[in-house]
């Protein structure tokens, strides 16, 4: 079973992402900000990480940088959830090492389509 | 104290239409009369026990008991119907009922002389029970019905317990 | 798969309310001209989350509206725009507007609101104004259509041959991207042939398996109307990490069979590559990546959340759920653990056939432990309902801001003791009385800047909300440094209203307390704020209803302090057990002043048969509880009973009872749940022996006594008893 770490400060988004992925057979772990995600990730392995960009405590960009510095996440697909359609955040995320992004708002089908792209 | 769960067989035999909807009634005795209440509203049957009086309430409100942590008022049905008072004895029972009054569910106890039987009655027979004319307590009575040549007074608990 | 998004609505709405509360609180912290970027970030994040969630869950009116908010906040955040006070006002109005929209969703009403449209126009005007910094308005509800990769299936059979040069930077793998995945996605667009160019592959000694050296040439054959954008979309994530050149090589109309258009011959060495099987170095890479985690212990350990600051829940909408800190749950689990141990120990004792002295001692010890466990557990459970008073305090910054603007007063609000905890139900009910008291302080207590200057004070007045625990109570103070109560004016008014006589000798404090009497208002003109027909008497009554008290102290020109005392919880009552005949009642300890034996020489009977006891310099009316409650088995002689002096609504009365039993804590049970309200009784509880005992409602009892006497003697007991004496 593929393991996914879903990071978002919004409980409703987290639940939606988690529910959708679990229903499709993924093993999902949730975290509510970058710091919590990083703490969890220190001692675990995930096949895909999905993270919001704007979060308190530690934002998504910082999280990606930190994750890429961990040996087990050097090559792991990391997707950013972003509402910013402006290219700045995307390129910032890319520069930090993100694999790609999902633009909010998205529906469960769109989410799954993107996840399938990276979790094979 | 047994609730007498076995349905009255005579009655079942009398049911002509097997598909007819049956309603079960618990009956109890009071002053030689048999009264029936719908069994679905009955929660449990307890013996008489001393209870805490509530000040300044009608005489028929005997007080409150502790029903597993819930405070439940107990109504003496004889007094409610203005029947002569009798002393409570070993066979005096408190029937705990759940009724919906003014939009909220209430759990209450009713004191009766003794529990009698459980009857399965045809819904039709019940709803067709004649409404009685000018008798005492008629506001509490849903209808009268003959069961095995005995007359049973079916009670409208909502009205009886709307106090 | 279809997923019903409505299951997430409740959480979304709840968190949005929280976000709006946070936004509001932070907006009130903002000082135009000196913008704290962390504050702006927090506000931005709240708006941003609401926008993201509302878009995702289909609340487009909210998504549209928050979009303009977000745009403005983004510009301020990025320093593209200066924060102005009109922005803050507009944002605060938007918070209210969004709350209303969320409530509309909760009530299944349309979320669209005229206010939102109007506010949006105002935002737009600002955004379109002086600093045209790329307002992104048009794309407010863009949907990412990445799943729609199916090419249009119309029958036009055009075959297009594309050549794609894909030359990734060495770091490609470190972005988590994988050329093979891209090729697979490309297969959804059309048939592909992939060639790997190994020219840049270093020799083995320099080969770093973590870097990507291979360049790829892909021939893509698409059918129908496939745009170049469709292909670009596949490479969207890697466009910054690779050189990507897409060119159209040929287009053939007609049936797509047998078309074989060779891409321009490359001078480089080429390797034919079937898409299914990766090239050697590729497999090497993959293997290494896959091996990585194997070397490390893959062990998940629960990591505690670093974020302990709970967001304040919405104070507007009452929700049935409570957020409980994990520490509270942990302690609860610990106690249940102890309880289980005790139970096991008692079980073991219970199974023994005989009970010798040793076992009896052990049994007693076990029972003592059990009662200890039970008490701890009870306290812990009560603690679950306890929440910091900051949940109430948090609504005041906005309130004070709005009111002081309206009144043209300068006010600073200080909040102290925000972490002081009290029961959720008490909290919900104390909010309104507090709002009233704060309004009152702002309206009547604090002076205008000019008045303050004239009085030799700073122009800015201060209102302080202070909360702390004292014994089993929570004390909440509302302190202002305003003009203080006008004691003389209150006195005159009280005389005019017949509350006191001109000859009454009352201390200033006693006079000040008169403002809590029904129908008392000293405001010369009924103001928009305080004079809403709701007087201090209502505040007092509401607080009394919570078993609490409120009092006021005031010093002219220095200010006033209103002090509210409340029990920490409504579920538990400290009470005194008393008997009346064989009936056992409970009198709340909070209302008991003292208990004494009656010296009948000091009892007088006044007009209408009312007995009063002279107690020091007071006359205490005597109420015979057996008489009020119609019990016929009790002491009827004053000297044989005891008098419990109680106080309620500033009236002292003595209750004649037979005996005093223990004082203890009781868990309050409702009598109304299954019966109805009984005069003079506030509730019930279950005693240690399992029997039910009723709790005396003192103010209800005083009313009951008034009614009874009035019925008997035609006396008006609603008048203060002092007059009747």
- What CATH number labels C5-128? 1.20.120.160
Q: Do B53 and C631 lie within an 8 Å CB cutoff?
A: yes
Q: Is A83 exposed, middle or buried (0-12, 13-18, 19+ CB in 10 A)?
A: buried
Q: In the numeric block, which tokens belong to residue C304? A: 């505690």
For residue C560, give every residue at least 6 positions away whose Cβ sits within 8 Å of its Cβ, in sequence order, or none. C441, C445, C479, C480, C482, C484, C485, C552, C553, C554
Q: Do A85 and C136 lie within an 8 Å CB cutoff?
A: yes
Q: What is the CATH number of the domain that holds B78?
A: 2.40.50.180
- Helix/strand/coil for C593: strand
For residue C15, give every residue at least 6 positions away whose Cβ sits within 8 Å of its Cβ, in sequence order, or none. A10, A11, A12, C49, C53
Q: Do C678 and B56 lie within an 8 Å CB cutoff?
A: yes
Residue ranges of domains in chain C: 5-128, 158-290, 326-384, 390-567, 572-724
- Contact with chain C for residue A97, Cβ under 8 A: yes
Asked if pLDDT for residue C302 goes beyond 80, the answer is no
C79 compared with C680, residue with greater pLDDT: C680
Q: Do A105 and C143 lie within an 8 Å CB cutoff?
A: yes
The catalytically annotated residue of C18, C26, C70, C611 is: C70
Confidence at residue C495, expressed as pLDDT on a 0 to 100 scale: 85
Q: Do A56 and C8 lie within an 8 Å CB cutoff?
A: no
Q: Please tell me the distance in Å from A110's CA to the nearest CA on chain C.
A: 5
pLDDT band of residue B94 (cuts 50, 70, 90) is very high
How far apart CA C578 and CA C336 sit, in angstroms, is 34
pLDDT band of residue C382 (cuts 50, 70, 90) is confident
Q: Do C296 and A72 lie within an 8 Å CB cutoff?
A: yes
The H or E element spanning position C221 is strand C215-223
Q: Please tell me the distance in Å from C320's CA to the nearest CA on chain B.
A: 19
Confidence at residue C524, expressed as pLDDT on a 0 to 100 scale: 43
C-alpha distances (whole Å) from C26 to each of B43, C236, C464, C554 are: 55, 37, 19, 33
Confidence at residue B46, expressed as pLDDT on a 0 to 100 scale: 92
Asked if pLDDT for residue B135 goes beyond 70, the answer is no
How would CATH label the architecture of C390-567? 2-Layer Sandwich (3.30)
Question: For B136, which DSSP code?
Answer: T
pLDDT band of residue C466 (cuts 50, 70, 90) is very high
Q: In what order do the strands lie in the sheet with C215-223?
A: C242-253, C158-168, C215-223, C191-197, C271-273
The long-range contacts involving C517-525, CB below 8 angstroms and separated by at least 24 positions, are C520/C490, C520/C493, C520/C494, C522/C444, C522/C486, C522/C489, C522/C490, C522/C493, C523/C443, C523/C444
Once rounded to an integer, what is the mean pLDDT over residues C584-595?
A: 91
Q: Nearest Cβ partner of A105 from C56, C181, C237?
A: C56
Binding partners of C (≥3 Cβ pairs within 8 A): A, B
Residue ranges of domains in chain A: 3-118
Q: In chain C, pLDDT over 70 holds for what percent of residues?
A: 79
pLDDT band of residue C471 (cuts 50, 70, 90) is low
How far apart CA B132 and CA B145 sit, in angstroms, is 11
- Contact with chain C for residue A87, Cβ under 8 A: no
Q: In the numeric block, which tokens belong to residue C310? A: 């709970």
For residue B101, which residues of chain C lie inside 8 Å, CB to CB? none
Confidence at residue B22, expressed as pLDDT on a 0 to 100 scale: 83
CA-closest candidate to residue A3, choices A25, A20, A28: A28
Question: For C443, which DSSP code?
Answer: I
| Residue C261 annotated to the active site | no
Q: Nearest Cβ partner of C52 from A94, A105, A114?
A: A105
What's the first-to-final CA gap in chain B, in angstroms? 28
For residue A33, how many other CB atoms are within 10 A of its CB? Answer: 23
List pLDDT tens digits, range C528-577. 444 444 578 888 888 887 878 899 999 999 999 999 988 877 777 889 99
Selected residue of C38, C49, C133 to mutate for chain A interface (largest A Cβ count, 10 A): C49
The catalytically annotated residue of C440, C466, C512, C547 is: C440
The listed CATH number (1.20.1260.10, 3.40.50.150, 3.40.50.2300, 3.20.20.70) that belongs to domain A3-118: 3.40.50.2300
List pLDDT tens digits, range C231-247. 877 887 787 778 888 88
Q: Please tell me the distance in Å from C311's CA to the nearest CA on chain A.
A: 12
Q: Do C675 and B54 lie within an 8 Å CB cutoff?
A: yes
Confidence at residue C517, expressed as pLDDT on a 0 to 100 scale: 80
Asked if pLDDT for residue B4 goes beyond 60, the answer is no
For residue C582, which residues of chain B lie inside 8 Å, CB to CB? none
Confidence at residue C58, expressed as pLDDT on a 0 to 100 scale: 84
How far apart CA C65 and CA C60 sit, in angstroms, is 8
Q: In the numeric block, which tokens belong to residue C110? A: 């349309």
A42 compared with C724, residue with greater pLDDT: A42
pLDDT band of residue B134 (cuts 50, 70, 90) is low
For residue C56, which residues of chain A lie inside 8 Å, CB to CB? 13, 16, 104-107
Answer whether residue B54 is part of any domain. Answer: yes
Q: Please tell me the distance in Å from C574's CA to the nearest CA on chain B.
A: 19
Q: Do C628 and B55 lie within an 8 Å CB cutoff?
A: yes
Confidence at residue C290, expressed as pLDDT on a 0 to 100 scale: 37
For residue A118, which residues of chain C lie inside 8 Å, CB to CB? 176, 178, 181
**Count: domains in chain B:** 1
Q: Please tell me the distance in Å from B59's CA to the nearest CA on chain C.
A: 11
- Contact with chain C for residue A114, Cβ under 8 A: yes
Q: Do C678 and B54 lie within an 8 Å CB cutoff?
A: yes
Confidence at residue C53, expressed as pLDDT on a 0 to 100 scale: 86
DSSP A22-78: HHTT-EEEEESSHHHHHHHHHT---SEEEEESS-SSS-HHHHHHHHHHSGGGSS--E
CA-closest candidate to residue C6, choices A102, A15, A27, A29: A15
Identify each DSSP E strand in C527-598 by its residue range. 549-555, 559-567, 572-580, 583-588, 592-597
Once rounded to an integer, what is the mean pLDDT over residues C582-597?
A: 92
For residue C629, which residues of chain B lie inside 8 Å, CB to CB? 55-56
The mean of the pLDDT values for chain C is 77
Confidence at residue C348, expressed as pLDDT on a 0 to 100 scale: 84
- Helix/strand/coil for C692: strand
Answer whether residue B128 is part of any domain. Answer: yes
Answer whether residue B147 is part of any domain. Answer: yes
For residue C144, which residues of chain A lie inside 8 Å, CB to CB? 102-103, 106, 110
Whether the ipTM is more than 0.95: the answer is no
> Tokens 């006010």 correspond to what residue?
C411
| Residue C440 annotated to the active site | yes
Confidence at residue C275, expressed as pLDDT on a 0 to 100 scale: 41
pLDDT band of residue C183 (cuts 50, 70, 90) is confident
The catalytically annotated residue of C14, C48, C421, C512 is: C48
For residue A110, which residues of chain C lie inside 8 Å, CB to CB? 143-147
Confidence at residue C313, expressed as pLDDT on a 0 to 100 scale: 36
The mean of the pLDDT values for chain A is 85
What residues of chain A, 52 to 81, have a C-beta less than 8 Å from chain C?
A: 52, 54-57, 68, 71-72, 74-78, 81
C149 compared with B126, residue with greater pLDDT: B126
Answer whether residue B4 is part of any domain. Answer: no
Predicted TM-score (pTM) of the model is 0.48
C221 compared with C412, residue with greater pLDDT: C412
Once rounded to an integer, what is the mean pLDDT over residues C76-94?
A: 83
Selected residue of A10, A36, A94 to mutate for chain C interface (largest C Cβ count, 10 A): A10
Q: Nearest Cβ partner of C686 from B56, B69, B163?
A: B69
Q: Please tell me the distance in Å from C557's CA to the nearest CA on chain A.
A: 45
Confidence at residue C197, expressed as pLDDT on a 0 to 100 scale: 75
List pLDDT tens digits, range C478-527. 999 999 988 888 888 888 877 788 888 888 888 888 888 876 765 543 44
How would CATH label the architecture of C572-724? Beta Barrel (2.40)
C281 compared with A89, residue with greater pLDDT: A89
Q: Please tell me the distance in Å from B74's CA to the nearest CA on chain C.
A: 9
| Residue C473 annotated to the active site | no
Q: Do C674 and B71 lie within an 8 Å CB cutoff?
A: yes
List pLDDT tens digits, range C451-463. 999 999 999 999 9
Strands C583-588, C692-696: pairing is parallel
Q: Please tell me the distance in Å from C62's CA to the nearest CA on chain A.
A: 13
Q: Do A54 and C210 lie within an 8 Å CB cutoff?
A: no
Burial call C535-555: b when 16+ CB within 10 Å, e when fewer: bbbebbbbbbebbbbbebbbe
Binding partners of A (≥3 Cβ pairs within 8 A): C
C109 compared with C138, residue with greater pLDDT: C109
Q: Do C146 and A113 lie within an 8 Å CB cutoff?
A: yes
Which chain C residue has the Cα nearest residue B75? C675
Selected residue of C630, C667, C675 to mutate for chain B interface (largest B Cβ count, 10 A): C675
Q: Do C15 and A100 lie within an 8 Å CB cutoff?
A: no
Structural domain that includes position B16: 9-160
Confidence at residue C90, expressed as pLDDT on a 0 to 100 scale: 87
Confidence at residue C301, expressed as pLDDT on a 0 to 100 scale: 33
pLDDT band of residue C108 (cuts 50, 70, 90) is confident
pLDDT band of residue C472 (cuts 50, 70, 90) is low
List pLDDT tens digits, range C119-132. 888 888 888 875 44
Q: Do B64 and C675 lie within an 8 Å CB cutoff?
A: yes
CATH topology for the C158-290 domain = Alpha-Beta Plaits (3.30.70)
For residue C691, which residues of chain B lie inside 8 Å, CB to CB? 50, 52, 66
Asked if pLDDT for residue C622 goes beyond 70, the answer is yes
List pLDDT tens digits, range A44-62. 889 999 998 888 889 888 9
pLDDT band of residue A116 (cuts 50, 70, 90) is confident
Strands C583-588, C572-580: pairing is antiparallel
């Amino acid at each position: 079973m593929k393991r996914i770490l879903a990071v978002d400060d919004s409980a409703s988004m987290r639940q939606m992402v988690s529910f959708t992925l679990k229903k499709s057979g993924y093993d999902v772990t949730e975290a509510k900000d970058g710091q919590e995600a990083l703490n969890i990730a220190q001692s675990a392995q995930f096949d895909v990480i999905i993270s919001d960009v704007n979060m308190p405590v530690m934002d998504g960009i910082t999280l990606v940088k930190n994750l890429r510095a961990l040996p087990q996440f050097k090559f792991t697909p990391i997707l950013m959830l972003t509402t910013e359609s402006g290219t700045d955040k995307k390129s910032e995320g890319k520069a930090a090492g993100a694999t790609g992004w999902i633009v909010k708002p998205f529906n469960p089908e769109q989410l799954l389509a993107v996840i399938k792209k990276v979790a094979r | 104290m047994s609730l007498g769960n076995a349905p009255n067989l005579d009655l079942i035999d009398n049911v002509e239409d097997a598909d007819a909807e049956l309603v079960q009634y618990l009956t109890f005795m009071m002053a030689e009369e048999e009264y029936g209440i719908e069994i679905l509203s009955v929660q449990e049957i307890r013996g008489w026990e001393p209870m805490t009086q509530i000040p300044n309430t009608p005489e028929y409100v005997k007080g409150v008991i502790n029903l597993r942590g819930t405070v439940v008022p107990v109504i003496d049905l004889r007094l409610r119907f203005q029947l002569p008072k009798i002393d409570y004895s070993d066979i005096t029972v408190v029937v705990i009922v759940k009724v919906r009054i003014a939009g909220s569910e209430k759990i209450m106890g009713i004191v009766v002389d003794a529990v009698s039987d459980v009857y399965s009655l045809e819904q039709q027979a019940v709803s067709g029970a004649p409404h009685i004319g000018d008798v005492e307590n008629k506001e509490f009575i849903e209808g009268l019905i003959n069961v095995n040549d005995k007359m049973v007074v079916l009670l409208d608990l909502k009205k009886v317990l709307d106090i | 798969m279809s997923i019903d998004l409505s299951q997430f609505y409740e959480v979304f709405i709840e968190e949005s309310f929280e976000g709006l509360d946070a936004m509001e609180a932070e907006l009130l912290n903002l000082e135009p001209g000196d913008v704290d970027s962390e504050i702006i970030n927090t506000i931005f994040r709240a708006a941003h989350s609401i926008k993201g969630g509302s878009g995702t869950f289909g609340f487009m009116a909210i998504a549209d509206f928050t979009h303009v908010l977000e745009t403005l906040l983004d510009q301020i955040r990025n320093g593209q725009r200066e924060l102005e006070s009109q922005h803050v006002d507009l944002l605060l109005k938007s918070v209210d507007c969004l709350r209303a929209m969320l409530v509309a969703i909760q009530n299944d009403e349309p979320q669209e609101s005229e206010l939102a449209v109007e506010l949006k126009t105002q935002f737009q005007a600002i955004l379109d104004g002086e600093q045209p910094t790329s307002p992104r308005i048009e794309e407010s509800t863009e949907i990412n259509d990445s799943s729609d990769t199916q090419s249009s299936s119309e029958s036009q059979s055009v075959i297009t041959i594309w050549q794609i040069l894909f030359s990734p930077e060495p770091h490609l793998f470190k972005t988590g991207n994988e050329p093979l995945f891209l090729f697979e996605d490309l297969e959804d667009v059309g048939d592909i042939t992939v060639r790997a160019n190994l020219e840049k592959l270093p020799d083995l000694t320099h080969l770093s398996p973590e870097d990507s050296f291979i360049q790829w040439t892909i021939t893509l054959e698409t059918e129908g109307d496939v745009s170049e954008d469709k292909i670009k979309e596949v490479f969207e994530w890697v466009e910054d990490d690779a050189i990507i050149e897409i060119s159209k090589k040929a287009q053939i109309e007609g049936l797509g069979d047998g078309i074989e258009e060779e891409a321009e011959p490359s001078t480089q060495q080429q390797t034919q590559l079937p898409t299914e099987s990766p090239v050697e170095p590729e497999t090497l890479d993959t293997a290494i990546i896959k091996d990585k985690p194997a070397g490390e212990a893959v062990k998940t350990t629960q990591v505690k959340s670093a974020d302990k600051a709970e967001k304040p829940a919405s104070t507007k909408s009452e929700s049935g759920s409570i957020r409980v800190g994990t520490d509270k749950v942990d302690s609860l689990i610990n106690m249940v653990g102890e309880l289980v141990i005790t139970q096991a120990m008692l079980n073991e004792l219970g199974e023994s056939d005989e009970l010798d002295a040793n076992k009896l001692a052990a049994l007693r010890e076990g029972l003592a432990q059990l009662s200890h466990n039970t008490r701890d557990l009870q306290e812990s459970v009560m603690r679950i309902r306890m929440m910091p008073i900051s949940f109430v305090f948090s609504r005041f910054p906005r309130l004070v801001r709005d009111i002081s603007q309206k009144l043209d007063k300068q006010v600073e609000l200080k909040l102290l003791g925000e972490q002081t905890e009290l029961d959720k139900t008490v909290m919900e009910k104390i909010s309104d009385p507090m709002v009233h008291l704060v309004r009152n302080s702002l309206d009547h207590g604090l002076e205008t800047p000019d008045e303050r200057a004239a009085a030799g004070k700073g122009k800015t007045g201060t209102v302080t909300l202070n909360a702390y625990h004292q014994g089993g109570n929570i004390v909440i103070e509302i302190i202002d440094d305003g003009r203080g109560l006008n004691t003389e004016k209150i006195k005159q008014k009280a005389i005019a209203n017949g509350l006191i006589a001109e000859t009454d000798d009352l201390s200033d404090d006693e006079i000040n307390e008169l403002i809590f009497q029904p129908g008392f208002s000293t405001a010369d003109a009924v103001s928009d704020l305080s004079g809403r027909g709701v007087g201090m008497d209502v505040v007092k009554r509401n607080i009394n209803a919570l078993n609490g008290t409120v009092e006021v102290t005031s010093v002219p020109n220095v200010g006033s302090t209103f002090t509210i005392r409340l029990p920490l919880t409504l579920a538990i009552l400290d009470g005194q057990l008393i008997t009346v005949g064989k009936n056992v009642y409970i009198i709340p300890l909070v209302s008991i002043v003292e208990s004494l034996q009656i010296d009948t020489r000091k009892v007088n009977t006044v007009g209408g048969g009312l007995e009063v006891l002279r107690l020091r310099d007071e006359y205490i009316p005597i109420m015979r509880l057996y008489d009020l409650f119609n019990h016929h088995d009790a002491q009827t002689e004053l000297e044989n009973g005891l008098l419990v002096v109680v106080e309620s609504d500033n009236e002292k009365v003595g209750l004649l009872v037979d005996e005093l039993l223990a004082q203890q804590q009781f868990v309050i049970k409702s009598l109304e749940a299954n019966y109805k309200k009984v005069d003079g009784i506030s509730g019930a509880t279950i005693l240690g022996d399992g029997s039910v005992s009723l709790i005396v409602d003192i103010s209800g009892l005083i009313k009951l006594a008034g009614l009874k006497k009035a019925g008997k003697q035609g006396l008006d007991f609603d008048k203060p008893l002092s007059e009747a004496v």
